[in-house]
Amino acid sequence: MTTKRVKKMGKEEMKEMFDLVIYAFNQEPTAERQERFEKLLSHTQSYGFLIDEQLTSQVMATPFQVNFHGVRYPMAGIGYVASYPEYRGEGGISAIMKEMLADLAKQKVALSYLAPFSYPFYRQYGYEQTFEQAEYTIKTEDWPRVKRVPGTIKRVSWADGKEVIKDVYLENQRAHSGGVIRETWWLDYTLNRASKPNNQAIYYSSEGKAEGYVIYRIAAGTFEIVEWNYLTNTAFKALAGFIGSHSGSVQSFHWINGFAGKDLNDLMPTPAASVKILPYMMARIVELQTFLEKYPFQSGEKETYSLEIEDSYGPWNEGIWTITIDEQGKATVTKGAVEKEGTAALKADIQTWTQLFLGYRSAETLSFYERLQGDATTAQRLGQRLVKGMPILEDYF
């Protein structure tokens, strides 16, 4: 008789998991790839699906903290979702996702992000597109010419620059819209790869304060901006000038970054940059009560809302919730219907609530397309208490 089960995986199963990843993603089993996989595994909560005690599918969940408008939320970054081809359709990933999400909810993990190979596939587990990227391809002659500004730019090694880079990133407001609060191990893992060596340049103000950096590679006539962050206008100008100084040795500049709702094309001498807006990561609220109790609602009058949640892979979220938001924006969240007369329930699936509360879609838009059901005035009023601005993510899992 065939046996099937979900198993929590660890370093003892590293070789089995690595072999599955290499096969499923058609990769070469290099020493660097194995070393990186082992490092990531040491930080993850990993699950395997076994058929007759043979590993056939797996999912890795890495615990992070994210900064959402000043609130720190626990977040699980999902990666290395893989199955052997002959076992696809056996329900392995679905079984893992069900158990993993239940475990995360018990741990009071508020959010989860993942990079999808298929958006429809992950929607069934409650995830929805929540982040976008902007991709810029700019000819060297179209790069903005900037005047020299005070301060200095220093090219540094990764070892010498990573703590400064970490601090500037965390201070940048772009990292406060759902971005990962990067620990040093994750910074090393994502930005310091032997097979893809980067260059680093840091801008220091006249007072000696680090106010910006650019991480980049130069290859095949292209200046590839891996990451560019700045805290001041002066830092932006200085680093733009530094990047532009490479015009004589490259033909174009290329940059992909988290999209915040407006591209930078208007800052070019002429709007000549090729800009593509790309769908990026998906997200889902994992533990609704934890998420809403910490949510940074806008201040205003004391109000009570009734929210109905549909979440087939998160039954702990399903049902009607009563949310009372006080004058300071602090929410009290309880399971059960509202008793206050005249308070209409707003109804949506967990994907829609995720987009709404993270700021990716407005209440008006979701109501118009009937994703958010209920009284339009109530939806609009709730929308006024939510954070403003699209979520931004620079990391990849």
Three-state SS for the chain is: CCCEEEEEECHHHHHHHHHHHHHHCCCCCCHHHHHHHHHHHCCCEEEEEEECCEEEEEEEEEEEEEEECCEEEEEEEEEEEEECHHHCCCCHHHHHHHHHHHHHHHCCCCEEEECCCCHHHHHCCCCEECCEEEEEEEEHHHCCCCCCCCCEEEEECHHHHHHHHHHHHHHCHHHHEEEECCCHHHHHHHHCECCECCEEEEEECCCCCEEEEEEEEEECCEEEEEEEEECCHHHHHHHHHHHHCCCCCCCEEEEEEECCCCCCHHHCCCCCCEEEEEECCEEEECCHHHHHHHCCCCCCCCEEEEEEEECCCCCCCCEEEEEEECCCCCEEEEECCCCCCCCCEEEEEHHHHHHHHHCCCCHHHHHHCCCCECCHHHHHHHHHCCCCCCCCCCCCC
Does the pLDDT at position 280 exceed 60?
Answer: yes
**pLDDT number for residue 142:** 87
**pLDDT number for residue 343:** 52
Same fold, 4-103 and 287-384: no
What's the mean pLDDT in 18-42?
A: 97
What's the mean pLDDT in 288-295?
A: 98
Q: Using 50, 70 and 90 to split pLDDT, how confident is the model at 269?
A: low
**pLDDT number for residue 155:** 98
What's the mean pLDDT in 375-382?
A: 94
Q: Using 50, 70 and 90 to split pLDDT, how confident is the model at 194?
A: confident
Mean pLDDT score across all residues of the chain: 95
Q: Using 50, 70 and 90 to split pLDDT, how confident is the model at 273?
A: low
What confidence tens digit (pLDDT) does each residue in 325-345 have?
999 999 999 998 655 554 558
Model-level pTM?
Answer: 0.95
What are the boundaries of each domain within the chain?
4-103, 134-279, 287-384
Q: Using 50, 70 and 90 to split pLDDT, how confident is the model at 144?
A: confident
**pLDDT number for residue 327:** 98
Task: Report the top-level CATH class of 4-103.
Answer: alpha beta
What confidence tens digit (pLDDT) does each residue in 65-92 have?
999 999 999 999 999 999 999 999 899 9
Does the pLDDT at position 190 exceed 70?
Answer: yes
134-279 maps to CATH 3.40.50.150:
no
**pLDDT number for residue 214:** 99
**pLDDT number for residue 73:** 99
287-384 maps to CATH 3.90.1150.10:
no
Q: Identify the residue with better confidence: 263 or 133.
A: 133
Q: Using 50, 70 and 90 to split pLDDT, how confident is the model at 291?
A: very high
**pLDDT number for residue 339:** 56
Q: Using 50, 70 and 90 to split pLDDT, how confident is the model at 275?
A: confident
